[in-house]
Amino acid sequence: MTMLPTYSSQDCPRAWEMMPWVLQQSATQEQSEWLTQHLAQCAACRAEFAQQSRLKQAMSLPSDVHVDMEAGLQRLLGRLDAPVQQEPQPLRARSGGWLMRALAAAVLIQAIGIGALGLKVWSSGGNTAYRTLSQEPSTPATAGAIRVVPDAGMTLADWNALLHSLQLQVVGGPNDVGAYTVAPSASTPKTQDTVQQLRAARGVRLAEPVTGTP
């Protein structure tokens, strides 16, 4: 714990402040005389001034760390002759370090965020839960379904009679080329026979089994 100096009179702070400058002889003659008079009256400041004098004496001793002056000078002169000499780096080079680290951290966080977003989009890409209006509905082919194109001259009564005789019903169409999709109403369809019968019937231009999605 630091103990502040205790002053015995109101002149003591001024004396305390003046001591170093009187000791190094940079104080004015008037200041030096004033301090001398104060020290004559104040034992505390006298003791402090003696301590300050000893401090100055100690600080004036030559360095006790031996550094070879001539060797150092030769190294300096050699340094001047070196082809590329860099001035000691400015102090801001160090202070810029934290800025670079902060920027690098920000870039890293952004990269992680972009990566996580990309991963989420990629993982949900396989489960398309939507389709465009132009897409064909992916209805499963009805078992035993047959595409039939009736002749343009075939009456509706003949068409209905044909379907009824073969136990067929219309499940789709007509499409752009006038083809209907028909499927047997019976539980056990015999597709190949039915196709043959359709082809043999009057007023049928084309009959083909639906084997799957083209």
- Between 43 and 109, whose beta carbon lies closer to another protein? 43
Cβ neighbourhood burial of 168 (10 Å; 0-12, 13-18, 19+): buried
Backbone dihedral angles phi then psi of residue 2, each to the nearest 5 degrees: -85, 125
The residue among 61 and 133 lying less far from another protein, judged by its C-beta, is 61
Residue number, 88 or 214, with CB nearest to another protein: 88
Note whether 83 binds another protein by CB under 8 A.
Answer: no
Paired with 149 in beta bridges are 206
202 is a site residue for another protein (CB under 8 A): no
Tell me how far, at minimum, the Cβ of 103 lies from another protein, in Å.
22
Distance CA 179, CA 40 (A): 130
Q: Which of 77, 100, 157, 177 binds another protein (CB under 8 A)?
A: 77
Residue 29 within binding range of another protein, rule CB under 8 A:
no
Q: Which two tokens stand for residue 28?
A: 């004015």
Considering the complex, state which of residue 11 and residue 151 has its C-beta at the smaller distance from another protein: 11
Residues that bind another protein (CB under 8 A): 2-5, 16, 20-21, 23-26, 48, 51-52, 54-69, 71-73, 75-77, 79-80, 85, 87-88, 91, 94
